[in-house]
Amino acid sequence: MLSLLSENNAEFYEVRMQKFHLSGALLLASFAFILPTTASQAGQQDFDASKSANSFVEIGAGARAVAMGEAFTAVADDVSALHWNPAGLGIVPNVQVLFTHNQWIQDVTFENAMTVFPGLGGNLGLAATYVDYGVMDKLSESGQPLGGFSASDLGLTLGYGLPVSPYFSMGAAVKSLTNSLDGQKKSSWAYDAGALLIWPEANLQIGLSVLNLGLSADDHQPSQVKFGMALMHLGDWLTLAADANKHFDQDAFQVNGGAECRLGFLALRAGYQYSSADLGLGGGLSGVTFGGGLRQYFDHFGVNLDYAFVPYGDLGATHRFAVTLEMGGQTTSPAQPPESTETAQPAPEKVEAVSETPVYSQAAEEKADAPIHNLPTPPKKIRAKQVGTQVLLSWKAVPLPHVWYNVYQQSEGNLLIKLNSQPVKKTSFRTGKLHRKKTYYFVVNTVDNLGLESTTSNTVKVRLK
C-alpha cells in the first residue's frame, strides 16, 4: 500500500489541489451570500450606536485571542471560535471547555463559559456570557438620591461548525440576549455566520465572519463583518494574524494584528488594534495587547492557562484570565519532534529498536477498498522513549491538508487497542502507565477530515525495563 501511494503521489496531490480550489470557490460563494445579506441589513436598519444595547457581545471571549489583538477570525482553531468565527468550530480536534474571567473597566465584571463537542457530523458549540455592571445610584429628575439599582446582561449561544473538506469549514451561531436594568428585562436575538479556508501547504488560513446580525430590521444589534488572514505554525512555533473589521453602526473601520510564539509549554502573545475613529482614550499603551499562557497535557487530558492585558488609556486597563480544558486525545507535543531517542534526551531506560512488522489496523482494513488517492498517507519515523512506566511516542508530521492521528497499542497475547478516544492533532503522544518487563507494540495512523484512515505506520516495539 505504501509503494502504491508513492507511485501515485502526483495524482494524490492533484486531487488535493482540486479540492483546495473547490474550497476557494466555496469561500467566494460565502462572500457572495453573506456580504449582500449584511449590506441589505445595513440599508434597512438606521444603525445608531446608542440603539445597540447589546454591545456586551463584542467583549472578546478567552484570553488567547484577546492577547493577539483580537486578530482571530482566520486562526479560530479552539473553542473560542464560537465567539470569533463559528466556522472554526469545525476544525477543533477534541472536546474543549473554556472559562473566562475579565475584570473590565469601571468595576464591570465579565464571565464566560463555552464548550465544543462532536455532533451532527461536525462540532457543536455552547456558550453562556454574563456581564455585571454593579450597583449604581438612582437619582430623581431634580437630582435627589433614590437608592441604587443594578444592571446586567446575559447571552446564550448555540453554534455549529462543519468541515466541508480538509480545506474548507463553515459555521453559524444563534444568540439569545437579555438586558436587565432596575428590575426590567428586554430580550432579543442575533446570529453569526462564518467561513474558513485552509491551505496547509502554505501554512495559510483565510477567514470571514459576520457577527451579531439582528433577526429583523427593528432589531438593532452591534453588527460587524470581519475578514482575516493568518500564517499558522511557521517553523512549528510562530503564528501571525491580521483582521479587518467594519461595524455597521460606525463609519470607522478597525485593523487588528497579532502574533503567538509557542515554546514548548509556554506561549507568548502580543497584538495591536487600530481604529480609524478617535476613541478618546488618551495616551499610554492604548491599542496594544499582550499576554501569555501555559499548557500541560496528560494521558488524555490537557489544561491551558492564559492571560491577557489590555490597556484603555485614561479609562484604565483590563485583566483577562482563562482556563481551557481539553479532553480526548491532545497530548504533549515538543516544538520539534526528536530525530532520535538518543539526541532528543538521554533516555533513562533503553528502548528496543523499531520493528518493521506491521500491526493489523481494522480501521485501515475497512478502508482498503477506497480509491488510493483518497487515503491519507501514514506518518513516518515513529519513535518511542520510555519515561518511567510510560512511553512517549513521536512522529514526523504528515505534510497533507488538515490531518489528525490515531495511536494503537498491542501487547503480547492481547488484541490491538486504540489509545485515543478521538483523533489527536499533535505529533506526539504519551501513553498511560504500563507494566514493567512487558513488551508493547505501537503504530500511528493518519485520519483526514473525511474520516478516512491511512494504513499503519512502521511498528515500534518497546520492552519496558
pLDDT in tens, 76-122: 999 999 999 999 999 887 899 999 998 877 778 999 999 999 888 88
77 and 137 in one domain? Answer: yes
Using 50, 70 and 90 to split pLDDT, how confident is the model at 210?
very high
Q: Do 445 and 429 meet the contact criterion of CB atoms below 8 Å apart?
A: no
pLDDT top residue among 41 and 421: 421
153 and 245 in one domain? Answer: yes
CATH number at residue 139: 2.40.160.60
Which pLDDT score, from 0 to 100, does residue 367 have? 42
Instruction: Establish if 243 belongs to a structural domain.
Output: yes
Give the rounded percent of residues in the chain with a pLDDT score beyond 90: 38
Which pLDDT score, from 0 to 100, does residue 281 have? 54
Instruction: Establish if 4 belongs to a structural domain.
Output: no
Residue 259 pLDDT > 90: yes
Q: Which of 327, 350, 374 is the last residue of a domain?
A: 327
Instruction: Establish if 2 belongs to a structural domain.
Output: no
239 and 161 in one domain? Answer: yes
CATH number at residue 424: 2.60.40.10
Which pLDDT score, from 0 to 100, does residue 341 have? 35
Of these ranges, 282-291, 336-345, 387-396, 438-447, the one predicted with the greatest mean pLDDT is 438-447
2-20: per-residue pLDDT in tens?
232 333 334 434 444 444 4
Give CA–CA dist 88/162, Å, rounded: 9
Task: Read off the pLDDT of each residue in 297-321 and give the average, rounded to a whole number.
Answer: 86
Q: Which of 421, 426, 321, 407 is nearest to 117 (CA)?
A: 421
Q: Which of 327, 358, 387 is the last residue of a domain?
A: 327
Give CA–CA dist 90/399, Å, rounded: 20
Number of domains the chain is built from = 2
Which pLDDT score, from 0 to 100, does residue 104 have? 76
322 and 202 in one domain? Answer: yes
Q: How far is CA 51 from CA 54, 110, 249, in A?
A: 9, 21, 9
404 and 285 in one domain? Answer: no
Instruction: Establish if 6 belongs to a structural domain.
Output: no
> What one-letter code names the amino acid at 309?
F
316-354: per-residue pLDDT in tens?
788 999 999 988 643 333 233 333 333 333 344 444 434
Instruction: Establish if 5 belongs to a structural domain.
Output: no
Which pLDDT score, from 0 to 100, does residue 45 have? 40
212 and 124 in one domain? Answer: yes
Using 50, 70 and 90 to split pLDDT, how confident is the model at 374?
low
**CA torsion sign, 397 to 399 to 403 to 405?**
negative
User: What DSSP designation does 209 have?
Assistant: E
Instruction: Establish if 206 belongs to a structural domain.
Output: yes
Give CA–CA dist 374/351, Å, rounded: 35
Looking at every residue in the chain, the average pLDDT score rounds to 78
The upper half-sphere exposure of residue 442, i.e. CA atoms within 13 Å in the direction of its Cβ, equals: 33
Containing structural domain, residue 85: 11-327
Give CA–CA dist 166/91, Å, rounded: 9
407-423: per-residue pLDDT in tens?
999 887 777 888 887 78
234 and 285 in one domain? Answer: yes
Q: Which of 224, 226, 177, 213 is nearest to 76 (CA)?
A: 226
206 and 303 in one domain? Answer: yes
The upper half-sphere exposure of residue 417, i.e. CA atoms within 13 Å in the direction of its Cβ, equals: 12
Q: Which residue intervals of 261-395 are DSSP H helices?
A: 341-344, 362-366
Give CA–CA dist 226/86, Å, rounded: 12
341 and 321 in one domain? Answer: no
Question: Is 32 in a helix, a strand, or coil?
Answer: helix
167 and 243 in one domain? Answer: yes
State how far Cα 447 lies from the chain centre: 18
Give CA–CA dist 295/303, Å, rounded: 6
Task: Read off the pLDDT of each residue in 303-326 and give the average, rounded to a whole number.
Answer: 90
Instruction: Establish if 152 belongs to a structural domain.
Output: yes
Instruction: Establish if 233 belongs to a structural domain.
Output: yes
418 and 317 in one domain? Answer: no
Which pLDDT score, from 0 to 100, does residue 140 have? 74
Q: Which of 312, 327, 342 is the last residue of a domain?
A: 327
pLDDT top residue among 23 and 92: 92
386 and 340 in one domain? Answer: yes
